[in-house]
Amino acid sequence: MWYIERRLQDALKQDIGTGCEIPRLDPFAKEVMQFDREMPKVVCQGTDWVKCYNSECRVVKSILKTMKGIVCAYSDIIYQSDQKYILAEPVEVRGDEGYTLIKSDHVKVVCIGKHRNNNVTSNWEGHSTGIRSTLPRVPSKGREHSLNVLILGFDSTSRNGFIRRMPKSYRVLTEVLKATVLKGYNIVGDGTPAALFPLLTGKTELELPDLRKFKYKGYIDSMPFIFYKLRDDGYRTAYFEDMPWIGTFQYRFNGFLRQPADHYLRAFYLEESNNGKKWLTGKQDKYCVGDTPQYKLMLNITDQARQ
């Protein structure tokens, strides 16, 4: 018995302080570079007639210069649950007058007007999103000057893949912003939920209630997401994903019953993509929202949300 205890003590002493050995992999090793390839840039066609910035939507200047007698009908895209949204009754706005976002951050817009040079009638239909004004929250005592919190994720992208494909962004993070790179960060399980549950709740999927679709008809609102904690701490919150038809919390789960954050893009993307049917086409514009690449729209709206 004494011999076994002594061997255990010796083993523990050897392991103390060593932890897990993280492999040091070369992002540009020839073994992986043979599979690396340039992807075509996303190029979006046309010109959107209407853009929203923060809570104001209006016809863009280039359209006002070439068109006259413009009338636009704005329909708010109203979130009801992760599985359902409705379009509000359209509100007509003329010329360069603005439309203020109050009920929702997102609108479907239908416009009609005449070309100034030949009087020919044209119309445009599209979607736009901004950030409506929300009631300010009172921060917790001692937290009045807390920093903004931004988590920006690229699914199915490794750290080395990020270094290879986005070298300028990596240099800004590490050299300009002096960011800390979590070289030992890893997924805790299999699939996107196994990556985001630990990050957003502090728990693994196995530690949380089993709310998968095929076993349970409930929603995931009760889980301890970080944006709930931030909201209670006085923050204005936002949670954005860009592919709602295979959403992290909707593909194997039923998603949220109530909007989880002050600003949430799910209803917008469901409407804009026709519930994901747009992505069944092989067309390049499936990566676009009107005249804007989808990734740019996400970054633009995130920038507005932080202000």
Q: Are residues 224 and 245 in the same domain?
A: yes
Residue 171 has pLDDT above 50, yes or no: yes
Residue 14 has pLDDT above 80, yes or no: no
Q: Are residues 118 and 162 in the same domain?
A: no
Q: Are residues 198 and 270 in the same domain?
A: yes
- Tell me the CB-side half-sphere exposure of residue 227, using CA atoms within 13 A: 17
**How large is the average pLDDT for residues 87-110?**
97
Q: In the numeric block, which tokens belong to residue 5?
A: 């205890």
79 is a domain residue: yes
In the chain, which ranges are continuous DSSP H helix?
Answer: 2-15, 30-33, 61-66, 159-165, 167-171, 192-201, 226-232, 266-272, 294-305
The model's confidence at residue 18, banded by pLDDT at 50, 70 and 90, is low
pTM of the model: 0.87
pLDDT, residue 1, reads 43
pLDDT in tens, 28-77: 999 999 998 888 889 999 999 999 999 999 999 999 999 999 999 999 99
Q: Are residues 294 and 215 in the same domain?
A: yes
100 is a domain residue: yes
pLDDT, residue 2, reads 42
24 is a domain residue: no
112 is a domain residue: yes
Q: Are residues 195 and 301 in the same domain?
A: yes
Percentage of the chain beyond pLDDT 70 is 93
- In angstroms, the CA 275 to CA 277 distance is 6
Q: Are residues 263 and 228 in the same domain?
A: yes
Residue 220 has pLDDT above 50, yes or no: yes
For residues 226-259, b (16+ Cβ closer than 10 Å) or e, as one string?
Answer: ebbebbeeebbbbbbbeebbebbbbebbbbbeeb
Residue 129 has pLDDT above 70, yes or no: yes
- How many domains is the chain built from? 3
Q: What separation, in Å, do the N-terminal and C-terminal C-alpha atoms of the chain show?
A: 65
Instruction: State the chain's mean pLDDT as an integer.
Output: 89
Q: Are residues 186 and 301 in the same domain?
A: yes
Q: In the numeric block, which tokens belong to residue 105?
A: 């951050």
The CA dihedral of 117, 119, 121, 123, to the nearest 10 degrees, is: 40
pLDDT, residue 198, reads 93
Q: Are residues 112 and 165 in the same domain?
A: no
pLDDT in tens, 257-277: 999 999 999 999 999 998 888
Residue 10 has pLDDT above 60, yes or no: no
Cβ within 8 Å of residue 219, ≥6 positions away: 81, 82, 211, 253, 254, 255, 256, 257
Which residue in the block uniquely carries the two structure tokens 């103390």? 16
Q: Are residues 210 and 289 in the same domain?
A: yes
Which of 236, 231, 256 is closest to 244 using CA atoms? 256
**How large is the average pLDDT for residues 234-243?**
92
- In angstroms, the CA 148 to CA 42 distance is 30
Burial class (CB in 10 A: 0-12, 13-18, 19+), 67: buried
Which stretch of 34-48, 113-127, 279-293 has the lowest confidence by average pLDDT?
A: 279-293
Residue 4 has pLDDT above 50, yes or no: no
At 279, is the secondary structure helix, strand, or coil? Answer: helix
9 is a domain residue: no
More confident residue, 288 or 9: 288
Q: Are residues 159 and 188 in the same domain?
A: no
The model's confidence at residue 9, banded by pLDDT at 50, 70 and 90, is low
**How large is the average pLDDT for residues 98-123?**
96
Q: Which residues, in sequence order, are bridge partners of residue 264?
A: 239
Q: Are the CB atoms for 118 and 85 separated by under 8 Å? A: no
pLDDT, residue 3, reads 41
140 is a domain residue: no
107 is a domain residue: yes
**How large is the average pLDDT for residues 7-25?**
62
pLDDT in tens, 294-303: 999 999 999 9
**How large is the average pLDDT for residues 231-256?**
91
- In angstroms, the CA 136 to CA 307 distance is 12
Q: Are residues 176 and 188 in the same domain?
A: no
Domain span including residue 276: 182-305
- In angstroms, the CA 278 to CA 269 distance is 11
Percentage of the chain beyond pLDDT 90 is 61
pLDDT, residue 191, reads 87
278 is a domain residue: yes
Q: Are the CB atoms for 81 and 256 separated by under 8 Å? A: yes
Q: Are residues 293 and 229 in the same domain?
A: yes
